Chains A and B, each alone.
Chain A
Amino acid sequence: MLNKELPKQYHPADYEEAIYARWEKSGFFNPDNLSGQPYAIMMPPPNVTGVLHLGHALENSLMDIMARYQRMNGKKVLLLPGTDHAAVATQAKVEKILIGQGVRNPRQELGREKLLEKIREYAEESKSTILKQIKKMGTSCDWSRLAYTFDKTRNRAVNEVFVKMYNDGLIYRGRRIINWDAKLQTTISDDEIVWQEEKAPFYYLKYGPFTIATARPETKFGDKYVVMHPDDKRYKKYKHGDKFDCEWINGKVTATVIKDEIIDMKFGSGVMTITPWHDLVDFEIAQRHNLSAEQIIDFNGKLMPIAGEFVGLDILTARPKIVEKLKAKGLMVKVEKNYLHRVAKGDRSQAAVEPQIKEQWFVDVNKIIPGKNKSLKDLMRQAVTTGHNGDEKQKVKITPERFEKTYLHWIDNLLDWCISRQIWWGHRVPVWYCGGRDKGKCLPECHWPIVSAEAPKECSVCGSKDLFQDEDTLDTWFSSGLWTFSTLGWPNKSLLPPFIKGGNKDLKTYHPTSWMQMGYEILFFWMARMILMSTYVLDQIPFHNVYIHVVRNFPNRRGII
């Protein structure tokens, strides 16, 4: 019976620290001390880019509500806490701070190791703040299983998965068109782009007997293929492969006629020239017809020597000057002043994104996985439709249901996943090359990449110890994609207590996890990658249920995980 007067007002400071301590001490945050059906929630690891904000507080509450509800319902609840190193987000943040402190070019001035040290310091500090905040909110998570996407266990998992994919032929090195963020000096994924509508002039230019139209005359220096639809009657007399000479921006060029069905006959004159190095559609046309590509804009956003007198200018400065020259040469047919077009901007940098061709590491989502008779795309689709391998019990249920459609639609349009990044803060691509300088001679086979979960001691071909590692790091979603099982110790089997034979005890008990919640904006970034990784690596779905919430735009919310 309650026979005493409670204080009229509740002062959190009088109770909460002591209560949290009592909860922790009770051992009930750790499911090892609970019985019943396992129920696992892996906390979406917050980025170590600062402190938690309102969006995190909401997510934290949702998870803790669920964990406490399930625990009171007699489940063996694991709410596993962790943080994310957040690759490019963290590096960009620290570089910005350093620039503010007067370091003009952090990467050049500090070098790889020193800059990494600075980022590590910053990351550790925000990590400790974030963990304190999570405790302050009363979150009932198991601190004995605390994880970090960039710690040793998780690095091992990342390397193992990379090697497995490489050996299965799913990871390849390719010259592909990528999105280049000149400000951050790295590749960014399609999902990291925001499209903005802008009004800009649209120029109609004379190209030999044709009129072509472009919003970007500064990319056109090297254009030597003129493309039209094979059914376009207006251009019947031109045959595929015909060559002609014409006057162009910096003098005469020899142009070749290409016929391709991708051209929209109704758009403008129905003729265009292509710039394969800086445009995805043009790149694809060039690939189809085996055409050469030339770089016009360098990785700092400046024009290359092919631009002649305009070399070294950044594109926006160059554009009006080039327009003047085109007018002077009589190549300008007309200008449409307010043409509405979409411009790609980097989500984090807000800088213009330039398509570029670059050697990158890719995950092939369409290739059949050896022994599975399915591609990664098939696995991703199956997990939410029929269930993994047609098993109803291995099916991810998405709440609200409407997001299932969104997800499947995204899968249909998915291209190969570019996983390499030209930044330093992240899991370094576990690939080494033989330098062979100590042996004096390198065999042709030495040029094959050495892909290994652990740093190799020597080149297996020539025995050279002069090895160097790939400079690139992996997309942050490559490591967070493993989160549901890398947190459970995969692939490390030494976690096993001696009395259990085979298999990881935590992995067996808690995977697939029960429930995952996340904001709508990381549905593709994260949910899709977790499904991909888990079904491919473990032959299991990552979670049975996923709850998607749509939160109003909190500042920096994109950086939530």
Chain B
Amino acid sequence: MAEDWILNKLNVLIKDVTDDFNNYNFSSAGERLREFTWNDLADWYLEANKFENSSQRGQILYYILKNLLILWHPFAPFITEAVWQEMDKKELLMVEKWPTPLAPLVRGEKNDFAVIKNVIITIRNARAENKVEPARKIKAVIYAGKHAELFAAQTELIKSLRTGISELEIKVSGEKIAGAIYAAVGEIEIYLLGALDEVKEKVRLEKGIANLEKIIKANEGKLANKEFVDKAPEAVVEKERQKLKGWQAELKKIKEQIKHL
């Protein structure tokens, strides 16, 4: 699955980079190569392919490396030639034939990995936004709709790619779950259970309330000061009033949230 995905990505890369060269969009070509090499290849494929059972793994990695060296060569002639020579190639990379995209890949749904990748990114973001400590293992429930079968087959992959999920339940659909972190990717719904540490969260929120109340009080004092209101430019006073409004709204939200815990 990830193999199809990366080979398709490489295919697209070859086409786009070639077009860029022909249109003198050198920086765009460089950006695409960087994106593929660091994001698609290093961050995703190299991670994901450890969890895939594939007899072609070595061959595919070799194929990707070979093409990537060719595509990078105009930009980084020395280092690519150096690696090429380490691959025990007899000919020089400098005169290696420029690749053309392979015929479009049709094996399976080539976007399966992309869907999974999106869900993984969403889970990571949700954890970060909710300040879930990286080491903390949590349970997740995913209502995956038409992708349920795919997800069920790839639970190990999802658990392994830095999502911090110890237990993963996949369903086509289901009831809303209370007390969980909620996120969505299109029609796919994700619930992160037990990620909300109520005690900790309560302490955190209470701290926030205390802090806000302090600021609000100081600000109210300032605005009650006749000298300030009369002497300061209208714009400055107005700005202070707006700030106060913002803080008051935030305080209200936090107070509601703490009731729901």
Contacts and interface: CB of A to CB of B under 8 A. Distances in A.
Contacts of B74: 64-66, 68-69, 72
Interface string A529-561: 000000000000000000100000000000000
A16 B58 contact: no
B78 A16 contact: yes
Contacts of B98: 69, 72-74
Contact of A28 (B58, B65, B86, B92): B92
Contacts of A62: 26
Given A22-B92, A28-B94, A68-B73, A15 B78 contact: yes
A72 B24 CA distance: 16
A154 interface: no
B98 to A, nearest CB: 4
A399 B97 CA distance: 27
B228 interface: no
Interface string A474-499: 00000000000000000000000000
Contacts of B65: 2
Contacts of A4: 86
Interface string B66-95: 000010011101110111011110001011
B247 interface: no
B175 interface: no
B21 A69 contact: yes
B96 interface: yes
Contact of A2 (B77, B79, B82, B87): B87
A138 B77 contact: yes
B77 A1 contact: no
Interface in B22-69: 23-24, 26, 58, 62, 65
Interface in A59-112: 61-62, 64-66, 68-69, 71-74
Interface string B213-239: 000000000000000000000000000
Given A28-B95, A72-B96, A138 B78 contact: yes
Interface in B92-119: 92, 94-98
Nearest to B96: A72
A159 to B, nearest CB: 36
B220 to A, nearest CB: 50
B81 A19 contact: yes
B46 to A, nearest CB: 14
Given A1-B58, A2-B86, A19-B82, A65 B75 contact: yes
A520 interface: no
A23 interface: yes
Contacts, number: 71
Interface in A30-79: 34, 61-62, 64-66, 68-69, 71-74
A65 B26 contact: yes
Nearest to B66: A2
Contacts of A140: 77, 94
Contacts of A34: 95
A373 interface: no
Interface string A6-23: 100010100110011011
Contacts of A290: none
Given A2-B87, A19-B82, A65-B26, A71 B77 contact: no
Contacts of A64: 74, 77
Contacts of B58: 1
Contact of B94 (A2, A12, A23, A73): A23
Contacts of B96: 72
A20 B87 CA distance: 18
Interface residues of B, number: 27
A26 interface: yes
Given A65-B74, A72-B70, A6 B94 contact: no
Contact of A15 (B70, B73, B82): B82
B82 A10 contact: yes
A31 to B, nearest CB: 12
A2 B62 contact: yes
Nearest to A29: B94
Given A10-B82, A19-B78, A65-B75, A399 B95 contact: no
Which applies to chain A's interface (DSSP): helix, strand, loop or mixed?
helix
A28 B21 CA distance: 21
A12 B78 contact: yes
Contact of B83 (A6, A16, A28): A6
Nearest to A20: B78
Nearest to A545: B24
B94 A1 contact: no
Contact of B97 (A20, A69, A74): A74
Contact of A68 (B77, B85, B87): B77
Contacts of B78: 12, 15-16, 19-20, 138
Contacts of A68: 73-74, 77, 94
A140 B24 CA distance: 19
Contacts of A73: 98
A400 to B, nearest CB: 9
Nearest to B29: A65
Contact of B95 (A2, A10, A61, A71): A71
Contacts of A72: 70, 73-74, 94-98
Nearest to A23: B94
A15 B93 CA distance: 14
A547 B79 CA distance: 27
B255 to A, nearest CB: 52
B70 A10 contact: no
B86 A10 contact: no
A12 B82 CA distance: 10
B33 to A, nearest CB: 12
A417 to B, nearest CB: 30
Contacts of B62: 1-2
A66 B62 CA distance: 26
A505 B79 CA distance: 36
A21 to B, nearest CB: 12
Contacts of A74: 97-98
Contacts of A2: 62, 65, 86-88
Contacts of A28: 92, 94-95
B13 to A, nearest CB: 15
Nearest to B65: A2
A4 B94 CA distance: 22
Interface in A242-290: none
Contacts of B23: 399
Contacts of B77: 64, 68, 138, 140
A74 B98 CA distance: 8
A20 B82 CA distance: 11
24 contacts: A1-B58, A2-B62, A2-B65, A2-B87, A2-B88, A6-B83, A12-B78, A15-B78, A22-B92, A23-B81, A26-B92, A28-B92, A61-B75, A68-B74, A72-B70, A72-B74, A72-B95, A72-B96, A72-B97, A72-B98, A73-B98, A138-B77, A138-B78, A547-B24
Ranked nearest first, the 5 interchain pairs of A and B with the lowest CB-CB distance are A68-B74, A72-B98, A65-B74, A15-B82, A138-B77
Interface of B: 21, 23-24, 26, 58, 62, 65, 70, 73-75, 77-79, 81-83, 85-88, 92, 94-98
Given A16-B78, A26-B92, 10 more contacts: A2-B87, A4-B86, A10-B82, A19-B82, A20-B78, A61-B75, A65-B21, A66-B21, A68-B74, A69-B74
